[in-house]
Each structure stands twice: as structure tokens, then as C-alpha cells.
Amino acid sequence: MQTTSRIKRFNELFSGLEDCNEDEQRKKIGKMNEIVDGMNKKEFESVFKTELYDKMYEMIEERKLSMESSLVLLKSVGCYKALKGILIFDFERSSLYIVLEKMIVEEDLKKKEEKNEKLLADLCECHLLLSGWFSSKFLSICVPCLLKVALNKDESKEAQKDVEMSLLALSNVEHYELGKELYLNEIKEIIKYHQEHRNLMRLAYQSAWEFLICRLYFDKSLEKVISNELHFAREATRELEEQTRNMDWKKKEEEMDKEEANEVLIIRRWIKTLEIYFSCCQLWNEEYVGLFNSIVQIYRAAKDNCRGISYQFICLLRSFATNRALKIDDLLESEAVGSVLEEVTQLHVIDEQTSNYLDFFKRLCERLNSESKMESDTAKRKELKRKVLEKMEEGGYEDFIIGFSCCKIIRQHFFYYLVPFIDDYFVY
């Protein structure tokens, strides 16, 4: 379906909701959700304006659209927005946003026997998926409510879809501080149960980790739980490997079918989670080496056709080189250095990716220089240097020299300059 016809069809279905009974509305909304799922970002942003949400509010107020039916559509819209990382704030400027918040508070204040738990969960999911900011008041209601949904161990497809949606909504709560009493025991139980029973869908499991790891921004003590108790690096390694095992990396991203595109989307989310973790982590874990190698294998497989993913991976490797919780020996013994070196030796185009490759080595050299200065033993300093040089020799000095022949040109085009002491490690 082409862009104009897709938008036109959605608007026609939306306009027709006023003249339908509830059953017909549900059918139309089902078709609308399918259209939303096939939209690109530009189409999505052109359709879901404040005016559309205000119109939904009017229809609800005039009893031309039930709240239950509208929540089905809103959850689909919020899911798309969260998965695609769309940062638009039209919903927050609408009348529907205010009504949604009011309903959450009112439902939460009801006595237990009067409370509609399903309605409250739906309202909370829409709030967290569609909104760009949250107050502590609403987080204190929504987080426990959705964790309760996510704790459901029923393995039916419908129940697990509810679990997935609740965890995806929670993963949207990024830069907000939460008291441990609101979430820690519950999210640990969800992750541990999955590790034993493998009950969660892939997106749900990744979302559970993302929600927990975002809490590291405010509470570094969680790292022991995440790294040593829940074994994040081991789990991320396994998930990435399973996620990519059946991927056809010979296809370009635009040629992939819907299922393959969804797999790529989840890989991208794992990369984001890893970036958050390694920007905060301070503890070394022996499971990191396996994770490095897994990342490198996916990077190598995807680099020719999926440039978006390969770009994300090289940025991730750059952050590894800077993080002092990661041992230099682990980086050198992993395949990360050799993989980036392979690319450097074949550089022909000066672009942002070229800059990222060189910046990886720049950061690595800064680490090596810093650690060698701290090392008083001359023999150990020489050994450190020898390890790097051996890595360079594996690729061949001649190719390596050719690859770095562009360095003087790079200096003129990018902010990332090579460090003065790079001669200690690179020959050019």
C-alpha cells in the first residue's frame, strides 16, 4: 500500500467509527491497527497529531466511541511509537491525555472489590507508551500495576501478549528514579523465572532487562544484582546469538520481511540496553568476553547490508574501549580489535563510520597509555605494548599502513584526532 492510500484508508476508517456499533468499531480498529503497523515514521507523524487525539476525546465524551475500543487503538499506536523510538509530543498536548491521567487516578483510588484491574492496566500501558514524561505520582501507580500483569505465568498466547505489552510499556520509563520497593523484587522474579522456564517472548524479555538496567542511572548498587546475580552479560550473549541464528544477513534491511524486520528491531533494542549498561557499569565480569565476541560476530555478519546495525555496533565497541570496568586484556583477547582492524585496512571512503573506526583505536590507545603510566613495572609495560603489536601483526603491517594512510585527511574532516602517543602502538 502506498503512502497516500495508507493514510487515506486510515482516515476513512477513523471517520467511520462514529457511525458504528461497538462490534463494528472493534473490527475497524483492528484494520486501523494493521495500517499503523505498516506505516513508516513520516506517515505515523503526519497522522497522529494532537487534533486526532482531541477528536477521539470528543467521540468518547459524546458516547460515539467507547473508552475500551479507544484503548485498543491507543495501545497499538503507543507500541509503534515505543518500538520505533518516535519522539513527538502531540498526545501530551491533547485533551485525551488529561482524561487518561484522571481515569488512572480515579480507578486506582477505588476499593479493591470495585477496581477494574484490566482497565487500570490498559490505561497505565497507554500512558507509559504514549507519553514522553511522567510524574512520580503516576509512576507509583503504573509501575506496580504493570509489574503485576507481567508476573502472570500463564503461558497462553493471549496472556503472554499482555505480559509483553506491560513490559514494553515499563521499558519506556527510562530516565526516572524509582524506589526499589516499587519494582526490584518483582522484576527479579520475572527475569529469574524466565531464565528457568523460558516463558517470555523475546521482546518481553529484552524489555524487562531494559527497564531494570535504566535504573542503574540512579542506583549503582544494582550492578551486583544485574551482573552477578542475574548474569546480564551471559543472558545478553545468549539472546543475541539466538536472535541472529536464523537471520539472512545477505538481505538488505529494506528487503527483509516483517518477521525478519522485527528480529532486527529487537537486536537494535538489545544494543541500546547494552549501551546503557556499559555507560554505568563499574564492575568487571568474566562473562564480558563472550559478549564481546558475540557482538563482533553479529557486526561482521551485518556490516555489508545492514549498515544501521553495524553503525550501532561500532559505537558500542567504542564505549567498550573507554569503560575502565572492562579489562584491556579482555578487549585484546576478544575479536573486537581484529574486527575493527579488518575494516580499517580496507578504508576507501571518508565518512562517519571511518571516524568511528579510528576513534575506537584512539580510545583504546588512551586506555593503554593511561594504564601503562600507572604500571611502574617496565617489563609489564613492555608486555602490554607487545600484546597490542601482536594484534596488529595478525592483520599484516602492510595492509595496516595502507589503511591508515588516510589519517592526515581524516584530521581535516573529523573532530576525532589521533592521540600523540599513537606511534607507540601503530606503525604508519
Model confidence band, residue 264 (pLDDT cutoffs 50, 70, 90):
confident
Cα–Cα separations (whole angstroms), residue 343 to 7, 260, 338, 422, 425: 42, 26, 9, 18, 18
The residue among 208, 324, 327 whose CA lies nearest residue 270 is: 208
Which tens digits make up the pLDDT trace of 106-162?
999 999 889 999 999 999 999 999 998 899 999 999 999 999 999 999 989 999 999
* Grid-cell match 485498543, residue found: 72
Amino acid 239: pLDDT: 94
The residue among 81, 66, 70 whose CA lies nearest residue 36 is: 81
Amino acid 91: pLDDT: 94
Residue 223: half-sphere exposure toward Cβ, Cα within 13 Å: 17
Mean pLDDT of the residues in the chain: 83
The residue among 263, 276, 270 whose CA lies nearest residue 220 is: 276
Q: What is the DSSP letter of 418?
A: P
Nearest-angstrom CA–CA distance, 165 and 254: 26
Are 406 and 350 in contact, with CB atoms under 8 Å apart?
A: yes
Q: What is the dihedral of CA 126, 131, 137, 143, to 10 degrees?
A: 50
Nearest-angstrom CA–CA distance, 257 and 266: 15
Which tens digits make up the pLDDT trace of 342-353?
776 665 555 666
Which tens digits make up the pLDDT trace of 328-382?
777 777 777 777 777 766 655 556 667 777 777 777 777 777 665 555 556 665 6
Burial class (CB in 10 A: 0-12, 13-18, 19+), 159: middle
Cα R_g (the chain), whole angstroms = 25
Asked if the model's pLDDT at residue 403 lies above 50, the reply is no
Asked if the model's pLDDT at residue 406 lies above 70, the reply is no
The domain limits of the chain are: 220-331, 335-428
Beta carbons within 8 Å of 242's beta carbon, 6+ residues apart: none
Which tens digits make up the pLDDT trace of 214-244?
999 899 999 999 999 999 999 999 999 998 8
Q: Which of 79-83, 217-221, 336-340, 388-392 has the lowest mean pLDDT?
A: 388-392
- If you average pLDDT over residues 243-263, what whole number do you get? 81
- If you average pLDDT over residues 279-297, what whole number do you get? 85
pTM: 0.85
